[in-house]
Amino acid sequence: MREYDLIIVGGGPAGLAAAISAKKEGIHNLLILERDHELGGILNQCIHNGFGLHTFKEELTGPEYAYRFIEEAEKLEIPYKLNTMVLDISKEGKSKMVTAMNREDGLMFLKTKAVVLAMGCRERPRGALNIPGYRPAGIYTAGTAQRLVNMEGYMPGKEVVILGSGDIGLIMARRMTLEGAKVKVVAELLPYSGGLQRNIVQCLNDFGIPLKLSHTVVDIQGKERVTGITLAEVDENKKPIPGTEEFYSCDTLLLSCGLIPENELSGKMGVELSRVTSGPVVNESLETNVEGVFACGNVLHVHDLVDYVSEEAARAGSHAAEYIRSWDSIGKTEEEQTIRIQTEGGIRYSVPQIIRTEHMEENLTVRFRVGAVYRDAYVSVYCGDKRILHKKKRKLAPGEMEQVVLKKTDLTAEEGLDKIVMRVEEA
């Protein structure tokens, strides 16, 4: 049995950045396991531009962004195995045992000191959407359609209705229009879009595709293949309003209803998952409750910007390296000050959720999402009654991930602090 210092599960942008940073910090005995036939993850099918503005100061397409990291990983001679599915991860004393499989090696049992989880996310299955009517052909998730059009060169249909205004749906509205399809409408159940504003501008407005907010599909026509759908407006309880029904003929319905982190492996291993993010609960080092198991990218929480994925993953890789370097002293834990970040008043979640001040650097970036749209509001952080942060934001929206930076000195000033509270405060 081969023994490793670090195994990275998933070779998307998160896995690549984590591996690169760990390798640069001197961890040479590492391995990336990727189930697809190439590295790069979801970026390979995201052929539109808009990636990497923060990291490379230029606007790249998904495959180009991925290629920069793949090239760097190759240059650093980071070993990886493709077409390799990780089936299980379990604890073995201090170590972890990774069970994986591929055609050449068959079933493998790989022992490792640390693991970085970078499995990305998957789309919400359509069954969860509860649309009445038959299940005719012509219904796809937006991500499936993206893969078909961009990687297999296959157009799923000619007349399209899109349900859900997440980014993938918006991007596919433009993509299918350019490929000659007629995209009739994008319908969103909520009163606001879950997608980035820039995508509404350049994917819908540029092509005159209407976006109907507070609308949902109430009926799907067609037995063999979709022939049309009926949209209706919904009230504030998301119940369709009778009399507002409108029929659209179409042969294809795309569902763009959001992504959820892919955490079957993590859950089985005993990693604590957040009910809000569906991703692991992590500390300031992006380490889960299972020591030596780190998480980053979309498996941790769904990101809309790959730049943040890469930055977060590099931190996870570096913390994993630190963990491996301190291997011999692990287990002799001293009493640590642990602070929970409690989110309320409009803030849905934060990552990380836990801070151990002893392990904290001078500044810590905390990312979060809000549950509604706010204008000219403040994001505040409290230690008891004391407000340690009060930051004005021109606009906060559920579709856009936000961040604040906490100072170590603010957290260590208070003796015995075990909780800080984050909330949105309206002016």
- Site size toward other proteins, by CB under 8 A: 32
Q: Is 47 in the site for other proteins (CB under 8 A)?
A: yes
Half-sphere CA count of 43, side-chain side, radius 13 A: 35
Q: Which residue's beta carbon is nearest to the bound ligand FAD? A: 12
User: Shortest Cβ distance from residue 47 to other proteins (Å)?
Assistant: 4
- Positions 252 through 271 that interact with ligand FAD (CB under 6 A): 262, 265
Among 44, 266, 298, 343, binds other proteins (CB under 8 A): 44
Does residue 152 interact with other proteins by CB under 8 A? Answer: yes
Residue 59 interacts, among ligand FAD, other proteins, none and using kind-specific CB cut-offs from 5 to 8 Å, with other proteins
Site for other proteins (CB under 8 A): which residue of 2, 158, 198, 223? 198
- 25, 36, 88, 400: which one contacts ligand FAD (CB under 6 A)? 36
Partnered with residue 400 across adjacent β-strands are none
Which listed range, 37-45, 224-232, 328-336, 337-345, lies at the site for ligand FAD (CB under 6 A)?
A: 37-45
Find the shortest distance in angstroms from Cβ 149 to other proteins.
Answer: 7
Span interacting with other proteins, options 43-51, 213-221, 336-344, 348-356, rule CB under 8 A:
43-51
Q: Is residue 83 a contact residue for other proteins (CB under 8 A)? A: no
* Contact range with other proteins by CB under 8 A, out of 44-52, 185-193, 224-232, 262-270: 44-52
Pick the stretch among 1-9, 193-201, 258-266, 364-372 that binds other proteins (CB under 8 A): 193-201
Ranges within 44-103 binding ligand FAD (CB under 6 A): 46, 48, 50-51, 85-86
Q: Of 158-187, which residues contact other proteins (CB under 8 A)?
A: 178-180
36 is an interface residue for other proteins by CB under 8 A: no
**Contact string 393-412 vs other proteins (x = CB under 8 A):** -xx----x------------
How many CB atoms lie under 10 A from the CB of residue 28?
12
Q: Which of 324, 358, 307, 420 is nearest to 14 (CA)?
A: 307
By beta-carbon proximity to ligand FAD, the closer residue of 187 and 196 is 196
Instruction: Quote the least distance from Cβ 380 to ligand FAD, whole Å.
Output: 28
Considering only CA atoms, give the Rg of the chain. Answer: 23
**Would you count residue 303 as binding ligand FAD (CB under 6 A)?**
yes
119 lines the binding site for ligand FAD (CB under 6 A): yes
Within 10 Å of residue 336's Cβ, how many Cβ atoms?
A: 10
SS (H, E, C) the chain: CCEEEEEEECCCHHHHHHHHHHHHCCCCCEEEECCCCCCCHHHHHCCCEEECHHHHCCCEEHHHHHHHHHHHHHHCCCCEECCCEEEEEEEECCEEEEEEEECCCEEEEEEEEEEEECCCEEECCHHHHCCCCCCCECEEEHHHHHHHHHHCCCCCCCEEEEECCCHHHHHHHHHHHHCCCEEEEEECCCCCCCCCHHHHHHHHHHHCCCEECCEEEEEEECCCECCEEEEEEECCCCCECCCCCEEEECCEEEECCCEEECCHHHHHHCCCECCCCCCECCCCCCECCCCCEEECHHHCCCCCCHHHHHHHHHHHHHHHHHHHHCHHHCCCCCCCCEEEEEEECCEEEEECCEEEHHHCCCEEEEEEEECCCEEEEEEEEEECCEEEEEEEEEEECCCCCEEEEEEHHHHHCCCCCCEEEEEEEEC
* 189 binding partner (options other proteins, ligand FAD, none; Cβ < 5 to 8 Å by kind): none
Binding partner of 298, given other proteins, ligand FAD, none, CB within 5-8 angstroms per partner class: ligand FAD
- The CA distance from 250 to 229, in Å, is 7
Euclidean distance between CA atoms 408 and 404, whole angstroms: 13
CB of 343 to ligand FAD, least distance (A): 21
Q: How many residues does the chain have?
A: 427
19 binding partner (options other proteins, ligand FAD, none; Cβ < 5 to 8 Å by kind): none
Binding-site ranges for other proteins (CB under 8 A): 44, 47-50, 53-54, 59, 61, 63-64, 67, 149-153, 178-180, 196-198, 200-202, 206, 304-305, 394-395, 400
Binding-site ranges for ligand FAD (CB under 6 A): 9-15, 33-36, 41-43, 46, 48, 50-51, 85-86, 118-120, 143, 146, 167-168, 171, 262, 265, 297-299, 303-307, 309
